[in-house]
């Protein structure tokens, strides 16, 4: 969808102080030299006790709200995104984040779309703001913490390295330092079995107490002789291409017009073949190599990349930034952002 009066007014992030390097993980027997060479990650952030996903999201949210300049009573919606456990069972983390950031009586929603949830949540928050004229601003947050025994950040994925942190963006229909020209979300639920396959249903979370092995379902699915692997790759690649090309078309620009291309902090091989060669993106336009020292932070890689561009890459008025994200299920979101001015906090 093309947006005419949708702005980014504030950005905030929080990363824990503790850094665990790939070499430390290898020495501890949780990672391998082969994975280091294949995936390219250098380090991950590790949250302290009590630094749950919602706690870190709220910290980032307070920064984004302060930077936006909007008063708490001007916020009409909060959308909180996440991938993993939020610190408590059968709980409402979005309402916690709301109380810790903007308060008030606006509705607080949770979005779960895998790693696509933050950017997909921006799409939902924008739609809410447009259908509620009295709501001038919306806060979108994300936060995750990944810990043993539930999940091993180094070993539960064959290719991803999961890192802890929180991020937030303030959207507004009034003003901001950047304008969102377009956003497009596209889903292909025929790929959902990649994350489920023949896994048995359980009656409660973490039923056997064994650390999650998140690639096992996909591997089982791929070994099914009735599955056409080429078709699966084509559908996943097609989702990336379709979301990006549609967002660009709706914004009225070409990929060559984009100065910065922000995507998730993927493994090296996935980024190379699933983004750069697939789309023809110049790697120098991304924050990928910088992000190797952080890892994949739940739903908020895009926020971290955007804040890094704003504070270290000197974007100028008129520059276009393309946000591209994907989540298991499968769902893709792409957004075209135009820089209007350098925010005061980034200079």
Strand partners, 113: 115
- The number of domains in the chain is 2
What was the pLDDT predicted at 222?
Answer: 63
Is 2 part of any domain? no
Find the length of the chain.
347
Q: Which two tokens stand for residue 184?
A: 């497009």
Regarding whether 59 and 12 lie in a shared domain, the answer is yes
Within a domain: 152:
yes
pLDDT at 195: 80
Q: Same domain for 186 and 151? A: no
Give the number of other Cβ atoms within 10 Å of residue 114's Cβ: 18
Question: How many CB atoms within 10 Å of residue 104?
Answer: 15
153 and 223 share one domain: no
Last residue of a domain, one of 154, 176, 198: 176
Q: What is the pLDDT of residue 200?
A: 81
Query: Tokens standing for 180?
Result: 């969102």
Q: Is residue 345 part of a domain?
A: no
344 assigned to some structural domain: no
71 near 135, Cβ under 8 Å? no
Which pLDDT score is estimated for 227? 72
114 and 168 assigned to the same domain: yes
**Residue stretches of the chain with pLDDT short of 50:** none
Which pLDDT score, from 0 to 100, does residue 198 have? 67
Q: What is the pLDDT of residues 71-106, one digit of tens each?
A: 999 999 999 999 999 999 999 999 999 999 999 999
Distance CA(172)–CA(274), nearest Å, equals: 32
* Residue 11: predicted pLDDT: 98
215 and 305 housed in the same domain: yes
Q: Are residues 129 and 77 in the same domain?
A: yes
Last residue of a domain, one of 176, 209, 239: 176
Residues 164, 198 share a domain: no
pTM of the model: 0.96
Same domain, 145 and 200: no
Residue 206 covered by a domain: yes
Range of the domain at 15: 7-176
Q: Which of 158, 176, 194 is the last residue of a domain?
A: 176
Kindly state whether residue 333 falls inside one of the protein's structural domains: yes
CA distance 115 to 99: 24
Residues 93 and 134 in one domain: yes
Are residues 326 and 225 both part of a single domain? Answer: yes
CATH number, domain containing residue 213:
3.40.47.10
Three-class secondary structure assignment of the chain = CECCCCEEEEEEEECCCEEEEHHHHHHCCCCCHHHHHHHCCCEEEECCCCCCHHHHHHHHHHHHHHHHCCCHHHEEEEEEECCCCCCCCCCCHHHHHHHHHCCCCCCEEEECECECHHHHHHHHHHHHHHHCCCCCEEEEEEEECCCCCCCCCCCCCCCCCECCEEEEEEEECCCCCEEEEEEEEEECHHHHHHHCCCCCCCCCCCCCCCCCCCCHHHHHHHCCCCCCHHHHHHHHHHHHHHHHHHHHHHHCCCHHHEEEEECCCCCHHHHHHHHHHHHCCCHHHCCHHHHCCCCECCCCHHHHHHHHHHHHCCCCCCCEEEEEEEECCCEEEEEEEEECCCCCCCC
| Alpha-carbon gap, residue 140 to 111, rounded angstroms | 10
Residues 53 and 193 in one domain: no
Report if residue 133 sits inside a domain: yes
- Residue 20, in any domain of the structure: yes
| Cβ(266)–Cβ(291) below 8 Å | no
Residues 195 and 167 in one domain: no
């Amino acid at each position: 969808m093309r947006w005419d009066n949708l702005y980014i007014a504030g950005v905030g992030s929080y990363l824990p102080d503790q850094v665990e390097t790939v070499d430390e993980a290898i020495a501890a027997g949780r990672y391998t030299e082969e994975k280091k060479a294949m995936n390219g990650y250098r380090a991950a952030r590790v949250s302290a006790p009590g630094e749950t996903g919602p706690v870190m999201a709220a910290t980032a949210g307070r920064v984004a709200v302060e930077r936006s300049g909007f008063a708490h009573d001007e916020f009409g919606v909060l959308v909180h995104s996440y991938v993993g456990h939020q610190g408590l069972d059968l709980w409402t983390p979005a309402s916690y984040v709301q109380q810790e950031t903007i308060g008030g009586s606006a509705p607080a929603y949770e979005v779960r779309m895998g790693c696509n949830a933050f950017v997909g949540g921006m799409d939902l928050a924008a739609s809410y703001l447009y259908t509620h004229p009295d709501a001038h601003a919306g806060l979108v947050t994300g936060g995750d913490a990944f810990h043993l025994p539930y999940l091993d950040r180094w070993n539960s994925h064959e290719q991803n390295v999961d890192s802890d942190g929180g991020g937030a963006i303030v959207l507004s229909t009034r003003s901001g330092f950047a304008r969102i020209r377009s956003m497009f979300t596209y889903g292909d639920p025929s790929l959902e079995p990649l994350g489920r396959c023949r896994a048995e249903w359980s009656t409660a979370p973490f039923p056997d107490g064994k650390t999650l092995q998140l690639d096992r379902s996909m591997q089982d699915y791929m070994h099914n002789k009735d599955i056409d692997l080429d078709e699966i790759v084509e559908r996943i690649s097609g989702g990336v291409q379709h979301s990006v090309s549609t967002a660009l078309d709706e914004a009225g620009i070409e990929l060559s017009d984009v100065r910065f291309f922000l995507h998730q902090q993927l493994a090296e091989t996935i980024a190379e073949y699933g983004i750069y060669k697939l789309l023809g993106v110049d790697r120098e336009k991304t924050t990928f190599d910088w992000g190797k020292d952080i890892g994949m932070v739940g739903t908020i890689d895009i926020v971290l990349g955007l804040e890094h561009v704003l504070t270290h890459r000197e974007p100028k008025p008129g520059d276009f930034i393309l946000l591209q994200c994907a989540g298991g299920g499968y769902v893709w979101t792409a957004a075209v952002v135009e820089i209007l001015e350098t925010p005061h906090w980034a200079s």
